[in-house]
Chain A
């Protein structure tokens, strides 16, 4: 399966107080193709919980990379199998 890594210099449009800037994300195709993230994919607003913090919309200029590796041993439901 081919895979893709996108590198995005984050746009400001995620933040609730910010407006999207016209800059296009910088996309690097590293190892073939998959898909770009669709729709809002970061937390807008003031993050309070762990998941909100790690998924908060990054500031402008921050590099964000989307990678979809092939992991044959991953469970079908996306969970990890126990260690051998």
Chain B
């Protein structure tokens, strides 16, 4: 099978939601299921956790559906009856992905009437999706940092993009005259439900719902379209940096210069490194946090055993919930950035950066792990 046909098959397999398939097991029949949904940018992170959890003596199964950050947010925020029938707009349907102990992605069938989501996964804050703070009984809990990136085909000669350029490329399209990206059929984007697009939207001041280009549905769609473009110089797309790191053979990441910045920077210190140095120290501004959106009880803790364990695993609360992995290492190996390796922070989407001093600095461990 060629690399191209393998990629096409993978994209087809990830087209969601799909109708139930007779050969798939019911998701609810899998051992200790925890249902998460939303961001596609955190796919490698969820896959890594899912593999380890399913390999335990008493296995847990992560059930994951990726349709975009705001879909995950809405599945929880609109779920006003989390223990009853699904409210309008709540829950997920069709098929979902889970991982066996070898890390193989498999498919299972969700309940025909909808499956409640334990934790919505989002690259952006709840209010970025809904325009409102989380409703009473729902909490937005921040996790590791995710960088987003502009990418071009490997054959492109482009190496950098300014925020001002991106404003004209994606806000105006062809009429923006920001060469060489003036063909809207070669701008591969997402949509307003995508955390990737929302973060980029806040970074370059083009509202997520007004982007010019072709909506490729999810990260895999953008990666495929950009990587196989026959017009490389005119082609550009947006993906999570973690996804880019796994497709460096077909894509080139552009250095980015923010508004009011002097010079463009890669997320990493160089085009070939993996240290996310410029994200961690604030030179690369296109980043957000993984947000876990979940129902909480009266004390503010995740309301169910499933959601509590998932949140504790990611936030590293091993005092309350034992973990079968070192979440810092899982995070790093999934090309995300644990907050303990960050030197800067922000408190709103695309908001101003300020210094950050983690309680326990893991920068050295981060750099050693990624091989820098």
Q: Which residues of A contact B (CB under 8 A)?
A: 5, 7-9, 30, 37, 41-42, 47-51, 53-56, 58-59, 61-67, 69-74, 80, 83-84
Q: Are B168 and A59 in contact (CB under 8 A)?
A: no
Contacts of B260 in A (CB 8 A): 51, 54-55
Q: Are A73 and B177 in contact (CB under 8 A)?
A: yes
Q: Which of A53, A69, A84 contacts B165 (CB 8 A)?
A: A69
How would you classify the secondary structure of chain A's contact residues: helix, strand, loop or mixed? loop
Q: Which residues of B contact A (CB under 8 A)?
A: 157, 159-162, 164-165, 167-168, 171-172, 175-179, 205-207, 210, 255, 257-258, 260-266, 269-271, 277-278, 281-283, 285, 344, 352-355
Q: Chain A's nearest CB lies how many Å from the CB of B215?
A: 18
Chain A's closest residue to B285 (CB) is A54
Q: Chain A's nearest CB lies how many Å from the CB of B102?
A: 38
Contacts of A47 in B (CB 8 A): 282, 355
Docked complex Cα distance between A55 and B277 (Å) = 14
Docked complex Cα distance between A30 and B258 (Å) = 20
Contacts of A70 in B (CB 8 A): 179
Contacts of B285 in A (CB 8 A): 54
Q: Known pairs A49-B354, A64-B264. 12 more at Cβ < 8 A? A: A41-B262, A53-B283, A53-B355, A54-B260, A61-B270, A62-B265, A63-B270, A64-B265, A65-B265, A71-B168, A73-B176, A73-B177
Contacts of B257 in A (CB 8 A): 65, 67
Q: Are A65 and B353 in contact (CB under 8 A)?
A: no
Q: A47-B355, A56-B281, A56-B283 are in contact. Are A71 and B178 (CB under 8 A)?
A: yes
What are the 10 A-B residue pairs with the smallest beta carbon separation, nearest first? A53-B282, A50-B352, A65-B264, A64-B263, A65-B160, A62-B269, A54-B261, A65-B255, A83-B171, A63-B270
Q: A65-B159, A67-B162 are in contact. Are A55 and B178 (CB under 8 A)?
A: no
Q: Which of A41, A59, A71 contacts B269 (CB 8 A)?
A: A59
Chain B's closest residue to A7 (CB) is B159
Contacts of A63 in B (CB 8 A): 255, 265-266, 269-271
Q: Are B171 and A53 in contact (CB under 8 A)?
A: no
Q: A5-B159, A59-B269, A83-B171 are in contact. Are A67 and B205 (CB under 8 A)?
A: no
Q: Which of B176, B178, B263 contacts A66 (CB 8 A)?
A: B263
Contacts of A66 in B (CB 8 A): 263-264
Contacts of A67 in B (CB 8 A): 160-162, 257, 264
Docked complex Cα distance between A5 and B161 (Å) = 11
Chain A's closest residue to B175 (CB) is A84
Most A C-beta atoms less than 10 A away, residue of B258, B263, B278, B354? B263
Docked complex Cα distance between A53 and B179 (Å) = 29
Contacts of A80 in B (CB 8 A): 164, 167, 205
Chain A's closest residue to B260 (CB) is A51
Docked complex Cα distance between A16 and B71 (Å) = 47
Most B C-beta atoms less than 10 A away, residue of A42, A47, A62? A62
